[in-house]
Structure 1
Amino acid sequence: MFNVLKQKEKQIAVIGLGYVGLPIALEFARQFRVIGFDINEDRVAMMQRGEDPSHEISSDAFSHADITFTANPDDLKSANFFVVAVPTPVDDYKVPDLKPLQRASELVGRALKPGDYVIYESTVYPGCTEDDCVPVLEKNSGLKLGKGFKVGYSPERINPGDKHHTLTTILKVVSGNDAEALREIAAVYGAIIQAGVYQAPSIKVAEAAKVIENVQRDLNISLMNELSIIFDKMGIDTHEVLKAAGTKWNFLPFTPGLVGGHCIGIDPYYLLYKARQLGYDPQVINSGRRINDGMPAYIATKLLQMLLQRGKNPRQTKVLVMGLTFKENVSDIRNSKVADLVRELMKYAINVHLVDPHASPNEVAQEYRMTLMDTPSNQYDGIIVAVGHDEYRSLDVSYFKSLMNGAPILMDLKGLFKIAKGDGIEYWRM
């Protein structure tokens, strides 16, 4: 397969052109013929103009790329090496929602021909590729795994907003349903990944490796969040504690914060779901999720207490929340825990204003039914800096005081600022 792809006798198709799929498609298109497929016609139209809807990739990356963008499923029939990079969210009950993955598998299945390859990049629980996706491929293609087509799994490791750890500089884990599949998949990815590839012994191992990468981060951050709650009750600055503890060579540099997005805040539920299917209820993983999911309510309650201590009626207060995206310097608002924080504040009838230099007002309105202001107003009783955008890092005390009224409160969820007691602002950080 690798040789015919390299000679451009066959094509690669990437299904799902979000923050994972588009970089892969463009990188493949430097050496191979590529079809970039997405069901969103508006997004496809933007990419046809050389624009990244996620605002992560410059227009230069589209230049000289041998790629055709399409929303027509029939175009997939001319491909032979399929890479599936669609979202894998959870529903309102924190149960894995495999509908995007199943629909993508149906589309690929209808385009499959003898000898084709299908590689999944979407984060799933161990066994999902072979137990859930392969049957869909077989049903829609009339082919059988092994004899008719081959399957692999290569988990995405893209970090939105990170300009240092990019697709080609991160070691890529690959796997296949047999030795030949593993060899060919490793060769294809090896052609574009400068850091090299790691050949996992099985698809399940590769799936498990991906999901625990984010489970580990989730648990470490949950520990920091729990410590921040404890230290706040003691009147101790958590960041100063971590700074002191960090002088030891093997202390891990995690900090407290809101855990949202489509990886760390989602992936643990996939492993929880599979474990419970097998009759085991994970205690540590579940505890970490419970702590991190509870932080928006904790922060809202803390602000309420601070307002009441200053004799302010929450119904008559106005609070500015700065930042809504799930992390700094990105436009992605999916699974933003800041949105949860805003909802918690609204439960107390607090008037909340919301700003973010990176988020789209239309997407915020559609996703959360919230209004994103162009610029802040004034006379705020409190300001919450929720996301560490670069635009916020240079702000100083005078800026915040210019937006606030008497007895102002500044909640710094990312620990960006150094506010002294004599600066005239009640300062709090996690």
Structure 2
Amino acid sequence: MTLYDEIVNKEAKISLIGLGYVGMPIAVAFGKKAEVLGFDISKEKVALYKKGIDPTKEVGDDVISKTTVDFTSDAERLKEAKFHIVAVPTPVNDDHTPNLKPVESASHTLGKQLTKGSIVVYESTVYPGVTEDICIPILEEESGLKAGVDFKVGFSPERINPGDKVHRLETIVKVVSGQDDESLDIISKVYELVVEAGVYKAESIKVAEAAKVIENSQRDINIAFMNELSIIFNKLDIDTKAVLKAAGTKWNFLNFSPGLVGGHCIGVDPYYLTYKAEQVGYHSRIILAGRQINDEMGHYVVENLVKKLIKANVPVKTARVGILGFTFKENTPDTRNTRVIDIVEELKEYGVQPLIVDPVADENELKEEYGLKLNTMEDLKDMDALIVAVGHDEFLNLSFEQLESFYKDVPNEQRVLVDVKSILDKKKYLASGYNYWRL
């Protein structure tokens, strides 16, 4: 009987290590087919899950309250499982080098509890070589076991898109890999229990690792191109959105838009790839150029806001500025690596302390990670300027009159409106005399 058979017969457990935006939905999905142990070092997070509360809003409170997943922060309980999935964050340091501490820490924790016959699958995004060169040695050291003999290791890059209710774990083809044919076969079968779209067997762990980082690097480069076009067209006094709409009528035109590029993947993964490239003697040109453009967009947005304030005869230093949205993308509470923080920091350079309104963002995360507090819609009074930074549904549904009520009682020519996401009716605001600008 293989480990796959034991899992199907509920004689062996699956563990999920890391219960964030990626790990928790995976745990819940497997919980419908197998015995699952959900582990996270955060006792507070585990307590919420046990109460039936989903702080990530990825699957919802109702699903969490009904799931059979056994949530725990007790690392020793990992001994109960034989198939382990590691789904912890892999951020970058301030100097844009990979921060592997979370995945290394998870490997140390798991290694201490690892038993013979187990399989460990990493889902955390890394550069090619991390699983075999860094994670496996830690597992061997902590467990006293030998990889490939006493336990097996694989890699299956996560493709969960936070806030996306269409492209879910079950509906996205899952890339899987293993250190040998036996482990690859078992890993494939286990994931096929929950992934309706099927699996793709990569020929090696390094291939699977590389596939993940280039997926997001490709998207990052395409958005950087759109951002560069936005800068060019702005200087030419041409509306970027109108240009993209016209170009989009061609069948093979790629549908990307300019904007802030943050989050735990697109704004991070390219640095993992370029870091590894530097180690083997190659300095990236295209990837890093794209990153530089995207990293500077917060500065660019504020630069144009200031120009509009000056045009409206509003003193910049005393301007009351409101920011609608702080999360890294729409309709998700996730603020990790949000580039809206660049707008906030740049405004502070001008002496402006903006009011931040985000009905979706995790308020505690905002305070702990950025030292900021959230305001409410009611706080938006007598504003000189508004920046629509995130396209939350709540902001899409704001009427012209509601938005107008946030401003000072002055002529529209003195009201500045920056629409980063291009979600507002440009013609209407321009016709009304607003100092309107968008990417």
Tell me the residue number matched to 2:73. Answer: 71
SS of corresponding position for 1:316: coil
Deviations 1:382-410 (A, max 9, x none): 10000000011122332222211331011
Deviations 1:263-287 (A, max 9, x none): 1001111001100011101000000
2:127, 2:151 → 1: CA distance? 22
Letter in 1 for 2:437: W
1:63, CA displacement in angstroms? 5.3
Tell me the residue number matched to 1:412. Answer: 419
The answer to whether the 8 Å contact 1:36/1:69 transfers is: yes
1:254, CA displacement in angstroms? 0.2
The answer to whether the 8 Å contact 1:409/1:425 transfers is: yes
Tell me the residue number matched to 1:378. Answer: 381
Tell me the residue number matched to 1:429. Answer: 438
Deviations 1:184-243 (A, max 9, x none): 000000011111111111001110111111000000000000000000000000000000
1:422, 1:20 → 2: CA distance? 44
Count of residues paired in the alignment: 430
Q: 1:257 aligns with which of 256, 259, 270?
A: 259
Q: What is the aligned-residue RMSD (CA, Å)?
A: 1.1
2:247, 2:68 → 1: CA distance? 51
Tell me the residue number matched to 2:288. Answer: 286
Letter in 2 for 1:334: R
The answer to whether the 8 Å contact 1:401/1:408 transfers is: no
2:225, 2:213 → 1: CA distance? 19
Tell me the residue number matched to 2:309. Answer: 307
Stretch moving more, 232-241 or 43-52: 43-52
Tell me the residue number matched to 2:4. Answer: 2
The answer to whether the 8 Å contact 2:17/2:86 transfers is: yes
1:53, 1:422 → 2: CA distance? 42
**What stretches of structure 2 of length at least 5 have no aligned partner?**
none
1:247, 1:326 → 2: CA distance? 29
The answer to whether the 8 Å contact 2:121/2:156 transfers is: yes
1:308, 1:426 → 2: CA distance? 10
The answer to whether the 8 Å contact 1:30/1:64 transfers is: no
Q: 2:165 aligns with which of 139, 163, 166?
A: 163
SS of corresponding position for 1:23: helix
TM-score, length basis structure 2: 0.96
Determine if the alignment matches structure 1 residue 180 to structure 2 residue 189: no
SS of corresponding position for 1:80: strand
Cα separation, partners in 2 of 1:62 and 1:303, compared to 1, 3 Å: closer
Letter in 2 for 1:242: L
Letter in 2 for 1:47: Y
Letter in 2 for 1:411: V
Letter in 2 for 1:71: S
Deviations 1:6-27 (A, max 9, x none): 1111111110000110111111
Tell me the residue number matched to 2:191. Answer: 189
The answer to whether the 8 Å contact 2:50/2:65 transfers is: no
Q: 2:274 aligns with which of 272, 287, 292?
A: 272
Letter in 2 for 1:256: P
TM-score, length basis structure 1: 0.98
1:149, CA displacement in angstroms? 0.7
Letter in 2 for 1:195: A
Letter in 2 for 1:211: V
Cα separation, partners in 2 of 1:395 and 1:109, compared to 1, 3 Å: same
Letter in 2 for 1:100: P
1:136, 1:94 → 2: CA distance? 24
Kindly report which structure 2 residues correspond to 1:15-414, keeping only aligned pairs within 5 A, or say none.
15-62=17-64, 65-375=67-377, 376-405=379-408, 406=410, 407-414=414-421
1:336, CA displacement in angstroms? 0.8
SS of corresponding position for 1:342: helix
SS of corresponding position for 2:109: helix
1:417, CA displacement in angstroms? 1.1
The answer to whether the 8 Å contact 1:109/1:139 transfers is: yes
The answer to whether the 8 Å contact 1:35/1:70 transfers is: yes
**What stretches of structure 1 of length at least 5 have no aligned partner?**
none
Q: Percent identity?
A: 52
2:84, 2:191 → 1: CA distance? 12
1:252, CA displacement in angstroms? 0.4
The answer to whether the 8 Å contact 2:312/2:435 transfers is: no
1:384, 1:319 → 2: CA distance? 8
Stretch moving more, 259-268 or 405-414: 405-414
